[in-house]
Amino acid sequence: MQRRLDDDGNAEWLPSPGGLVTAMEGVTNRQSTAWIGWDGTADVPAEEPSSTDLITVVPIPMTSTECSAFYHGLSNGALWPLYHDAIRRPSFNDEDWDAYRTINRRFAETAAAWVAPGGMVWVHDYHLQLMPAMLRALRRDVRIGFFLHIPFPPPELFLQLPWREDVMKGLLGADVIGFQEPAAASNFAALSRRLGLAQGDLPVLQYGDGYTARRLRVDSYPASIAVEAFEAASTDPEVLAEAEELRARLGHPKKIVLGVDRLDYTKGIEARLEAFRTMVVEQSLTAEDVTMIQVAVPSREDVDLYRQEREHVERIVGEINGQLGMVGAPLIHYLYRSLGRQELLAMYQVADVAMVTPFRDGMNLVAKEYVASRRDDGVLVLSEFAGAARELDRAVLVNPFDGRALVNALTKALAMNADEQRDRMQYLRRAVKAWTASDWASRFLDDLAKPCDVPFADELTLEGP
């Protein structure tokens, strides 16, 4: 949800554009819903809940100290890097952990106060992993679902976490735990067994003993996008006009390469830029031959690692343009800001090649958005380490840790003939259309509504012939 001030200076809440909100519309139209969340501001007095047509928004307040410890510290300084293969060293700090517990409790207490008798609560993402068990302790009558939008690491990495049992017990308080990929669900099940917390095999685990034993569902539910909205963009006259203007401003290069990411060290932006540089040098290309647009959305600017990443990316962009560009014709057009919806859609339209090259990504919705926005052409270069690669397996898949492979993938994408582009893109489009954001939300919530009464494999009686 977005907070906006109206003409009289009063705050109002609007649904943010994006897959999650679209996905939730089908749900909120059916039943009354409270959206409990933090708006990213600190030291602002708690606001009263307010209602839109769809939902009641219940803001959670935070002090700047809590924000720094809970959000920048534990969530983004410890859990985020740990869950992304520890490609940066996670920093573990007891004070951050205390704040993480405090904020999780605040969310749990608020949810407990709002949820109807026998209702459902859907908890989202790595910031709130303790909330399921805390909420269960307060409200035994409700069904609790948890969905992790980011990867869940293999046991040997997760075990580095000083509070590993607390986090696992927090999650195991849910009735349904959803991950982006089957491998993440397997990691979670393996860890539960290894720590002696739960038994059984996917998709049903048993947690606890004796009369407190409970079954819970642990499964994968790949996140998706509001496909129709992106499809419509490819024929929207305003988007097409903006795309034409953009192409003209770039000087009508023969090929346009696009990167769109939050500025995050997991996204592989610098590896992609280096591959672009190598290709330009090796093939003696100019900005008339190929131009790259790299959009980086400012993210977590209070965290040191993110400031360093920004410096790194901007240094490479500067070097490439300084060494290889011409006055009035840079090879890379770099934007460090958030784009308006139409501008983003226009970029998807002009991009002959989209490069999505994270070192690790739970899903990566940009890859799906690009595909949904195209018709019969365009090439997606996609990291094998993005969750989206499972569904989008006819993209040009690449290992982003292998610099030569990135150069080859980009070269191949730029040289791909029209027939192969069409074959691959049609396949990818079918894959994206087959599983939309609404499917994702419906499947999760349908599972959450069902009691988890599937018998364990070893309880099944085998019937003779």
Q: Which residues inside 369-408 make contact with ligand ADP, applying CB under 6 A?
A: 369
> What residue has token string 């009263």?
48
Query: What is the per-residue binding string for ligand ADP in 43-62, x denoting contact by CB under 6 A?
Result: --------------------
DSSP class per residue in 180-245: SSHHHHHHHHHHHHHTTSEES-TTEEEESSGGG-EEEEEEE------HHHHHHHTT-HHHHHHHHH
Which of residues 58 and 354 has its CB atom nearest to ligand ADP in the complex?
Answer: 354
Which of residues 110 and 224 has its CB atom nearest to ligand ADP in the complex?
Answer: 224
Cα 310 off chain centre by: 20
State the minimum distance, in angstroms, from the CB of residue 464 to ligand ADP. Answer: 50
Beta strands in 73-184 (DSSP E): 120-124, 143-147, 176-179
Which of residues 18 and 61 has its CB atom nearest to ligand ADP in the complex?
Answer: 18
Does residue 294 belong to the site contacting ligand ADP (CB under 6 A)?
no
Helix, strand, coil percentages, rounded to 5, for the chain: 45, 20, 35
Asked if residues 410 and 379 have their Cβ atoms less than 8 Å apart, the reply is no
Asked if residues 446 and 122 have their Cβ atoms less than 8 Å apart, the reply is no
Does residue 229 belong to the site contacting ligand ADP (CB under 6 A)?
no
Question: Cα separation of 57 and 199, whole Å?
Answer: 38
Identity of the amino acid at 6: D
Q: Which residues inside 398-457 make contact with ligand ADP, applying CB under 6 A?
A: none
State the minimum distance, in angstroms, from the CB of residue 23 to ligand ADP. Answer: 12
**Among candidates 74, 132, 126, which has minimal Cα distance to 107?**
132
Q: Which residues inside 329-368 make contact with ligand ADP, applying CB under 6 A?
A: 338-339, 344, 363-366
Does residue 295 belong to the site contacting ligand ADP (CB under 6 A)?
yes
Question: Cα separation of 378 and 376, whole Å?
Answer: 7
Query: What is the per-residue binding string for ligand ADP in 255-274, x denoting contact by CB under 6 A?
Result: -----x-x------------
State the minimum distance, in angstroms, from the CB of residue 339 to ligand ADP. Answer: 3
Q: By CB under 6 A, name the one of 1, 3, 11, 18 that touches ligand ADP.
A: 18
State the minimum distance, in angstroms, from the CB of residue 418 to ligand ADP. Answer: 27
Count of residues making up the chain? 465
Which of residues 173 and 378 has its CB atom nearest to ligand ADP in the complex?
Answer: 378
Which of residues 175 and 361 has its CB atom nearest to ligand ADP in the complex?
Answer: 361
Three-state DSSP at 279 gives helix
State the minimum distance, in angstroms, from the CB of residue 19 to ligand ADP. Answer: 6
State the minimum distance, in angstroms, from the CB of residue 388 to ligand ADP. Answer: 8
Asked if residues 19 and 365 have their Cβ atoms less than 8 Å apart, the reply is yes
State the minimum distance, in angstroms, from the CB of residue 169 to ligand ADP. Answer: 27
Q: Contacts with ligand ADP: how many residues (CB under 6 A)?
A: 13
Which of residues 35 and 80 has its CB atom nearest to ligand ADP in the complex?
Answer: 80
State the minimum distance, in angstroms, from the CB of residue 96 to ligand ADP. Answer: 21
State the minimum distance, in angstroms, from the CB of residue 264 to ligand ADP. Answer: 6
Q: By CB under 6 A, name the one of 1, 60, 250, 297 that touches ligand ADP.
A: 297
Q: How many CB atoms lie within 10 A of CB 396?
A: 17
* SS (HEC) of 430-450: HHHHCCCHHHHHHHHHHHHHC
φ and ψ at 220, to 5 degrees? -105, 140
Which of residues 60 and 297 has its CB atom nearest to ligand ADP in the complex?
Answer: 297
Which of residues 131 and 366 has its CB atom nearest to ligand ADP in the complex?
Answer: 366
Three-state DSSP at 117 gives coil
Which of residues 66 and 261 has its CB atom nearest to ligand ADP in the complex?
Answer: 261
Which of residues 205 and 295 has its CB atom nearest to ligand ADP in the complex?
Answer: 295
State the minimum distance, in angstroms, from the CB of residue 428 to ligand ADP. Answer: 16
β-pair type (143-147, 176-179): parallel
Which of residues 203 and 362 has its CB atom nearest to ligand ADP in the complex?
Answer: 362
Distances (CA, A) of 337 to 82, 333, 461: 27, 12, 59
State the minimum distance, in angstroms, from the CB of residue 305 to ligand ADP. Answer: 15
Query: How buried is residue 434: exposed, middle or buried, by Cβ count under 10 Å (0-12/13-18/19+)?
Result: exposed
Positions in the binding site for ligand ADP (CB under 6 A): 18, 260, 262, 295, 297, 338-339, 344, 363-366, 369
